[in-house]
Structure 1
Amino acid sequence: MSTDIHSTAVIDQTAEIGENVHIGPYVVIGAEAKVGDGTFLESHTVIQANTELGKNNHVHPHAVIGGEPQHSAYKGEKTYTRIGDNNIIRECVTIHRGTVQGSEETKIGSNCMFMAYSHIAHDCSVGDNAILANAVQLAGHVEVGRNVIISGLSAVQQFIRIGEYAFLGGASGYKLDVPPFMLAHGVRGMLFGPNLIGLRRNGFDSDACKGLKRAYKTIFRSGLKRDDGLALVEEEITGIAEVDRLVSFIRESKNGVTPDHKQRSGNAN
């Protein structure tokens, strides 16, 4: 099938359109945008300047991709939005390009689904296979790891990191880093242990799941200070890559780590 462009579409002459692309009615594609092979842009979608879409993406009506960042210091500098392959971007999703104050780009991986009205702000990075449910809001500079699921109506504060394979419950707010492989939810999001169901569905073996469960209890529920708990995990739970990753993520956190739901006073030290 050849590229099909509706007569009402408005495409900047500097834009690059791949093969087998379908562009519906009233689509707008801005300057120096790139649309990869096999992509389907439904009616009334807007692809702003300096936005790159990979192959086989499906963008639904009224989504705006690559819009100017909602940042008071933005003065029209040339920044970018880069999106991988095979993503589903549903109705009224907004994804903003980067800023020179940040990484100069907003980066989306492949095989993601962004449900209706979700928002990805400037300078965010979202890994492969992520799912943002309806009306999830990511503030600027947020990092979302691969295979993360964020349930509907949740919000993530700027500069926060969400580790890979985490599951975040709906109608929740997150102002501290969420470690990889964890389950978090609540109005003020807190941890409830490893995301065991999600891990098993993604092929993690029993050793990894048991190791993460044991490490979680040591770090978050033993009563030890954070550094002491991490040191004990490193000493007692060896040879499990997922546990090593959990420990390194927590050690690298600059924002502080989301506490266990039983820690009423907030982030433990």
Structure 2
Amino acid sequence: MPTRSTLNPPSRAPSRASGDTKTRLLDAAEAIFIDAGYEGMSMRLITARADANLAAVNYHFGGKDALIHAMLTRRLDGLNQNRLALLERFQTSLGSQLTCEHILGAMFIPALQQSRCLDKSGPALLRLLGRAYTDPSPFIRNFLRGIYADVAERFFRAFQTVLPHLPREELGWRLHFCIGSLSGILAAADTSTLIADFTQGQRLEDSQLIGRLALVMVAALKAPLSPPNGACPFASMFTEREPVSNSAAALAPDPLSAGPFAHHTASQHAIA
């Protein structure tokens, strides 16, 4: 993985035109990533959209991977610094009175504020975040885990302090589903249009928007634990299924009851 010095090479006293080329390349890579994800990006598409050539990419960034790193870090570095600063402020001022709502506020308030700044991607920032956190490519996932692992761990530990009864694995599952669901919505839709549809055109303040999100997410995070060794309420639903008339289908193993291997494979997909 390129180092930060690779992502931000020393200045060579670039001209105004050179600086504009670098910005155009970053903007083009960001727009294509938002629309098509990592697998849909190509140097041909990026350079065509930026009205630049491959030599410019190599000059400013050293290659495609470093360009994509720079594209993401120019939005996420400052955002995550603001998130951690707000989280620390809440932790310091509230102490034991810290709640799930405060931690979620530290995650979302800086993102909404940054999304109002046109020079920091503006409304496209939310789609960029959604795409970054749902993109299935190992390249993007390894990048986020490597660069922002400390940020994720700081927030995870904060949630542990306010939800001490949840085992680490259970808390991880709940955060994975909550944040993954929200990211999927942000990546796939025009959030402003979606909100307008839900509110029937009435203005929704940022505080109200975060409040709506928090209601659902906090409810999921605080849901009661399943009783140890308790019966799953869905087990009887599967046993009461209509028998399969097709003999070939009847002989096929049921993936939901295929034993420990099937459960292990599903877990790998869930945490990947």
TM-score (norm 1): 0.24
Higher helix proportion, which one? 2
Q: Computing the radius of gyration over CA atoms, which structure comes out larger, 1 or 2?
A: 2
Higher RCO (CA-CA < 8 Å; seq separation 6+): 2
